[in-house]
Structure 1
Amino acid sequence: MQPLNFPAYDFRFKNSENKVQIFDVIRKKFVVLQPEEWVRQHVVHSLIDDKKYPKSLINVEKQLKINNLTKRYDVVVYNPDGSIHVLVECKAPKIKISQTTFDQIARYNMQLRANYLIVTNGLEHYYCKMDSEEEKYTFLSQIPDFSR
């Protein structure tokens, strides 16, 4: 897999049925290493190792219903009260981050109501603080570290 715009993390890999798999510390299982999964695993490790979010508050690839359609978010970080603190949309490195990508995460966030959004393809990262009252977001250079 190509190098991404993240620090180096200590990943576990294995080969199974001629496919490389990477260990997901949140789902506690090996998953097939696809380009988007490579980005997702970097994001998860960044949240845990760099931003100090507890694993117990992170969830990966869960379904949600939007207008009777079943969708999947990539990563969420919960607040201790169960509300959503961070919503992350991951794309494969070859996918350019566009307005369509922001529209997608905005649709998800209308239901999830996260405080912060991250959109990344592993090479470019965008961080936003949400203002639900005004229905707008402000771009940031980073999201805040975890605080109790």
Structure 2
Amino acid sequence: MFQELNFPKFEYRFKSTENKVSIFDVIRKKFIILQPEEWVRQHCVHYLINEKKYPKSLINVEKELTINGLKKRYDIVVFNPNGSIYLIVECKSHSIKIDQKTFDQIARYNLTLNAEYLMVTNGINHYYCQMDTEAERYTFLKDIPDYTTL
């Protein structure tokens, strides 16, 4: 039915109206039209909740931010309990190759958001990095930490 992704399976809910399929988003608490990028985003959200144990209350999805006067939307942000940003996730459709342009995009977002960790995924390949803001560089990691390590 949909592209098999490199994430654990989860219980999803679909709804079909006017020939459009929607998937239920547990963060936004509503059905969202199912596009390839949304399929990846929902898998990633469930991965963060079920595998990495991040509380739903600390996860935000598809919010607008302003960067250099331009309005942009981030895919997923995980907050620290103190309100600072712990992780930014950039989701792409499974058919989009992750390249330097993708990292440049999330790095630009991070100039405003100042997250400690970044994740880029197309559902097939996942890349994780930890930011070193003082040295203005990032270090690639094998995975992001579980919530219990916060």
Structure 2-normalised TM-score? 0.97
| Whole-angstrom CA distance in 1 between matches of 2:130 and 2:24 | 30
Gaps spanning 5+ residues in structure 1: where? none
1:102 equivalent in alignment to 2:103: yes
1:9-39 CA deviation, whole Å, 9 max, x = no partner?
1111110111110000000000000000000
Gaps spanning 5+ residues in structure 2: where? none
The one-letter code of the counterpart of 1:146 is Y
| Whole-angstrom CA distance in 2 between matches of 1:43 and 1:6 | 7
1:60-91 CA deviation, whole Å, 9 max, x = no partner?
00000001000000000000110000000000
Aligned to 2:38: 37
Aligned to 1:143: 144
% identical equivalent positions? 69
CA RMSD for the aligned pairs?
A: 0.6
1:19 equivalent in alignment to 2:23: no
Aligned to 1:76: 77
Stretches (4+) displaced over 4 A: none
| Whole-angstrom CA distance in 2 between matches of 1:17 and 1:117 | 37
- Count residues with an aligned counterpart: 148
1:6 equivalent in alignment to 2:24: no
The one-letter code of the counterpart of 1:58 is I
